Amino acid sequence: MREPLALFLLIPFSLCACAPKAEAPPPAMLALDCAQPFEALAAKITALPHLAPPSHAPGEPYTFYSTEDGHTSYLITEKGAPGHPAIMMQTAQGGDVVTTGCPYGSPKGYKQLLAYLDSLKTWARR
C-alpha cells in the first residue's frame, strides 16, 4: 500500500522537471549620463554584460558596442574622431532608430558624427 503513495508523491517532482523555463528579461541598456566624465561613462558601457564583441572598422576612429539582442548600440569615439571625445547611443524603438549622445568635444564635430550615424540608418533601410 505504501508503493502507490510513494509513486503519487513523485508525480509533482517529475512535473516540475518538465515545466518550461521562464524567458530571461532583455538586457538592460545603460542610459547616457552626460554629467559623468567621458572616461567614466565609456568604462561603464564597455563593462556592460550581454554586449556583443566590439566592432571597429579599420581606419575608423571609434568603436561600436551593441547589446546581444541588437536593440541598443553605443559608439565611443577615439582620438582623431570628429567631436572627440563623444559617446553616442542608438536604440531601436517602434521600428525606428533613435540616436542620443554626449558631446564632450567640438559641437561642430559632434554634428558631423551625428550626420554620419544618420547616414548609416538610411543605408541600412535600403
What are the sequence ranges of the domains in the chain?
33-125
Task: Encode the chain (126 residues) as per-residue pLDDT tens digits.
Answer: 555 544 445 555 555 555 566 555 555 678 999 999 999 999 999 999 999 999 988 889 999 999 998 899 999 999 999 999 999 999 988 888 899 999 999 999 999 999 988 887 765 443
Which DSSP string do the residues of the chain spell out, in sequence order? -HHHHHHHHHHHHHHHHHSPPPPPPPPPPPPP-TTS-HHHHHHHHHT-TTBPPPB--TT-SEEEEEBTTSSEEEEEE-TTSTTSSEEEEEEEETTEEEEEEEE-S-HHHHHHHHHHHHHHHHHHH-
pTM for the complete prediction? 0.74
